[in-house]
């Protein structure tokens, strides 16, 4: 967070989901199991985007829409998940799409259960999302939001501003959403000012609900923006960039899951973070946990 305080875990965010997401295989979509290149486990290739019925042309590109029968893009593009009764641990690795080497490393070396989030300004964004889904990763789109030190700290030309009205917020958001297809929801990039504005969050949430998208934040908006599928990260694993510090944060995430039944963490696509998470992921299920995609943590 902007003040350096760690985000808290709120009971409403981490309440266990009552029903798992539907399996796309049961809905006639292609789910292909392929040999895992590094993890030794089968790889679940998610359906290629766009899935028919979940997007429509917009002024700047395709926009997500709620599909037939009320099924949402949040449901259609999420990775299928079946709980096994063990404590669930989820991780989001973000900042992807700008550095080609780190992006490919995250896609290819992390297990498909790890959720990946992409920068909307990335060159070749759709290709990266397609590759991520081919490797089994569900995807979030990062949404630049106004921080308290804006404009000195400027997240880009389509930053959502707390002072904007609903019309301008929706216009900027739709530009961001039209960059690609295949994401099940959004996550914030910065946003300490925007996320604490009631009118701004109301406009943002209304637009997301109309598009059928989820919202997962990095911990700065715990308990806010309800009305859409929601979750908040309870821990950032790489605020201190050392292997030992990241390992300690991952163990703390496990302890959180043991206490609450599930826990969600986030990290940035530093090569060290990716390497430590890949190593952790090979061992954590042997300790009695289940790696879950971030979508499985969301609740309305």
Query: How confident is the model over 218-254, as pLDDT tens digits?
Result: 999 988 877 899 999 999 999 999 999 999 999 999 9
Give yes or no for residue 50 having a pLDDT over 70: yes
Give yes or no for residue 37 having a pLDDT over 70: no
In a domain, 242, yes or no: no
Q: Report residue 113 as tokens.
A: 């259960």
Query: Residue 232 burial by CB count (10 A; 0-12/13-18/19+): exposed, middle or buried?
Result: buried
In a domain, 292, yes or no: yes
Would strands 42-45 and 32-35 be described as parallel, antiparallel, or unpaired? antiparallel
Give yes or no for residue 12 having a pLDDT over 60: no
In a domain, 13, yes or no: no
Q: How confident is the model at residue 41 (pLDDT cuts 50, 70, 90)?
A: low
pLDDT at 43: 79
In a domain, 39, yes or no: yes
In a domain, 127, yes or no: yes
pLDDT at 40: 53
pLDDT at 54: 98
pLDDT at 102: 97
Give yes or no for residue 15 having a pLDDT over 80: no
Residues of the chain with pLDDT > 90: what percent?
A: 82
Query: What is the phi/psi pair of residue 153, to 5°?
Result: -110, 100
Q: What domain count does the chain have?
A: 1
Give yes or no for residue 24 having a pLDDT over 90: no
Give yes or no for residue 287 having a pLDDT over 90: yes
Mean pLDDT over 3-12 rounds to 33
pLDDT at 223: 81
pLDDT at 286: 96
In a domain, 37, yes or no: yes
pLDDT at 112: 98
In a domain, 3, yes or no: no
Domain that holds residue 185: 24-45+67-235+249-297
Handedness of CA 271, 290, 21, 297 (dihedral sign): negative
pLDDT at 224: 80
pLDDT at 26: 39
Give yes or no for residue 34 having a pLDDT over 70: no
The average confidence (pLDDT) of the chain is: 88
In a domain, 60, yes or no: no
Give yes or no for residue 193 having a pLDDT over 60: yes
Give yes or no for residue 25 having a pLDDT over 60: no
Sequence-ordered strand ranges (E) for the chain: 32-35, 42-45, 55-57, 62-64, 88-96, 115-118, 139-145, 185-190, 214-217, 230-232, 235-236, 262-268, 290-291
pLDDT at 36: 43
Cis ω before 217 (30° cut-off from 0)? no
CATH number of domain containing 158? 3.20.20.370
Q: Looking at the DSSP assignment, which residues form a beta bridge with residue 64?
A: 55
Kindly report the CA angle at 106 between 47 and 80, in degrees rounded to 5?
30
**pLDDT digits over 87-142, tens only?**
999 999 999 999 999 999 999 999 999 999 999 999 999 999 999 999 999 999 99
Give yes or no for residue 55 having a pLDDT over 50: yes
**pLDDT digits over 69-83, tens only?**
999 999 999 999 999
């Amino acid at each position: 967070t902007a003040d350096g305080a760690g985000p808290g875990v709120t009971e409403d965010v981490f309440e266990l989901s009552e029903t798992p997401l539907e399996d796309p295989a049961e809905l006639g979509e292609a789910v292909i199991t392929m040999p895992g290149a590094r993890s030794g486990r089968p790889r679940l290739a998610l359906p290629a985007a766009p899935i028919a019925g979940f997007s429509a042309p917009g002024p700047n590109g395709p926009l997500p829409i709620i599909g037939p029968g009320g099924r949402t893009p949040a449901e259609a593009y999420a990775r299928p998940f079946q709980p096994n009764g063990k404590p669930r641990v989820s991780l989001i690795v973000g900042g992807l799409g700008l550095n080609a080497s780190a992006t490919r490393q995250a896609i290819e070396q992390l297990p498909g259960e790890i959720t990946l989030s992409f920068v909307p300004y990335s060159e070749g964004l759709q290709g990266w999302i397609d590759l991520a889904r081919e490797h089994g990763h569900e995807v979030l789109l990062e949404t630049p939001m106004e921080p308290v030190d804006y404009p000195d700290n400027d997240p880009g030309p389509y930053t959502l501003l707390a002072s904007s009205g609903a019309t301008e917020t929706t216009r900027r958001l739709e530009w961001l959403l039209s960059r690609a297809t295949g994401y099940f929801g959004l996550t914030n990039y910065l946003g300490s000012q925007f996320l604490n504005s009631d009118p701004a969050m109301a406009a943002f949430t209304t637009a997301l609900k109309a598009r059928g998208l989820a919202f997962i934040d990095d911990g700065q908006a715990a308990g806010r923006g309800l009305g859409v599928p929601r979750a908040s990260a309870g821990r950032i694993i790489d605020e201190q960039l050392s292997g030992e510090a990241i390992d300690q944060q991952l163990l703390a995430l496990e302890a959180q899951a043991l206490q609450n039944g599930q826990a969600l963490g986030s990290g940035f696509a530093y090569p060290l973070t990716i390497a430590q998470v890949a190593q952790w992921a090979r061992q954590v299920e042997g300790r009695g946990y289940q790696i879950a995609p971030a979508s499985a943590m969301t609740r309305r």
